[in-house]
Amino acid sequence: MWGKCRLVGVEKFYDVAAYPHQDHNVAAANPDIVSRMVQHYEAWWQDAQPGFEQPRRIVLGSAKQNPMTLYSPDWQGDYADNNGDLFAGNRNGYWDVTIERAGTYEFTLTRWHPASKLALSAPLKGKGTVPIAKARLRVANVDEDQELAASATEAGFTCELEPGNYRLQTNFLNAEDKEICGAYYTQVKLKEN
């Protein structure tokens, strides 16, 4: 994006002010602007790309933010960031996390937003029924699973964790232990003594 202009790749250029639906490619009529935008993007990419390889860690157990809710658009490896992904129930990534303080952590996994109180397998607006029968949590030295009732709205895990950098992965599985999707919402709380 540059002002009211949008470049997609190097071949599609849209004047969003004139064509807000982006249905008229005006690249051929604007070769100088397209060239400048491509050069600007390539310079930005060279500067930004090395940072993409570095883990971006979410701090858990901080006195400043406890509890912490993790969202699937923040996953590494995969993501679920739109209704199609959520309805399909077939995405799963992981979070790079830093456990700041040692203690007892509670993890609450949900597929739908926690406020919805929808069952994990329930469809939303008639879409997205999946056969969730189990939940799994993996973080640090913890690898636990649990069976779930058909009406379950969440899965809860409690475990002891030491400070450090870890990969946190959640899974919902079917009755045959096949991974279906991750927990699109995961609340993490360090129990205060």
Give the model's pLDDT for residue 149.
Answer: 94
- Do 45 and 67 sit in the same domain of this protein? no
Q: Which domain holds residue 43?
A: 5-52
> Which of residues 52, 71, 87 is at a domain's end?
52
Domain count along the chain: 2
Give the model's pLDDT for residue 46.
Answer: 87
Give the model's pLDDT for residue 162.
Answer: 97
- Do 146 and 128 sit in the same domain of this protein? yes
**C-alpha–C-alpha distance, residues 2 and 60, integer Å:** 37
Give the chain's mean pLDDT.
88
Q: What is the pLDDT of residues 89-100, one digit of tens each?
A: 677 889 999 999
Least confident of 23-27, 45-49, 78-82, 135-139: 78-82
**Helix residue ranges per DSSP H, the chain:** 31-52, 83-88
Q: For CA atoms 85, 91, 97, 102, give the dihedral sign.
A: positive
Q: SS3 for 69?
A: strand
- Given a cut of 70, is residue 127 above it in pLDDT? no
- Do 48 and 62 sit in the same domain of this protein? no
- Do 23 and 82 sit in the same domain of this protein? no
- Do 64 and 96 sit in the same domain of this protein? yes
Q: What is the pLDDT of residues 42-72, one digit of tens each?
A: 898 888 888 777 778 999 999 999 999 999 8
- Do 63 and 39 sit in the same domain of this protein? no
Q: Are 139 and 157 in contact (CB under 8 A)?
A: no
Q: What is the mean pLDDT of residues 19-48?
A: 88
- What is the pTM assigned to this prediction? 0.74
**C-alpha–C-alpha distance, residues 87 and 102, integer Å:** 36
Closest C-alpha among 108, 88, 191 to residue 153: 108
- Given a cut of 70, is residue 83 above it in pLDDT? no
Q: For CA atoms 175, 179, 181, 183, give the dihedral sign.
A: positive
Checking DSSP bridges between strand 134-139 and strand 95-99, what pairing results, if any?
Answer: unpaired
Give the model's pLDDT for residue 167.
Answer: 96
Half-sphere exposure of 46 (CA within 13 A, CB side): 5
Least confident of 10-19, 98-107, 140-149: 10-19
Closest C-alpha among 153, 149, 112, 109 to residue 133: 149
Q: What is the pLDDT of residues 165-188, one digit of tens each?
A: 999 999 999 999 999 889 999 999
CATH of the domain at 175: 2.60.120
